[in-house]
Amino acid sequence: MRGLTQKQLAQRLGVSESYVSEIENGANISIKNLQNFAEALKTNVKIFLEEEILSLPLSAFAPVFHRPEEIKKAEEEKKQARLRIRQELEQLLTVLESYQS
């Protein structure tokens, strides 16, 4: 981890060396401790989260619907979200065009 030994990192964090080892091996960690690790390693906490997210299959992010009404509701929500995005983009384009004039 960034050129630090587990012992050095544990000392910076004020935790045991075995705790650092557990975290490196995939043990659960609180958000606060994750932030502390990031600060000790002089990096952004996002790097830890992105690595975890990137290791998941895309199917992990897809909601699972079993009933027709759930599917219909999800499709309607998606349609409404697309409409809101389209409207916001149109507003943004209008503002940008006014600045170019």
**Mean pLDDT calculated for residue range 88-98:** 84
pLDDT in tens, 40-62: 877 777 776 665 554 555 454 45
Can you tell me which residue has the tokens 């075995």?
18
Phi, psi angles (nearest 5°) of residue 59: -60, -20
pLDDT of residue 58: 47
**Mean pLDDT calculated for residue range 51-77:** 65
- Residue 26 backbone class (left: φ over 0; alpha: ψ -120 to 50; beta: rest): left
Confidence of residue 39 (pLDDT cuts 50, 70, 90): confident
Mean pLDDT (the chain, rounded): 77
What CATH superfamily classification does 6-60 receive?
A: lambda repressor-like DNA-binding domains (1.10.260.40)
| Domain boundary assignment for the chain | 6-60, 63-100
* 44 or 9: which leads in pLDDT: 9
pLDDT of residue 63: 56
Q: What percent of the chain is modeled with pLDDT above 70?
A: 76
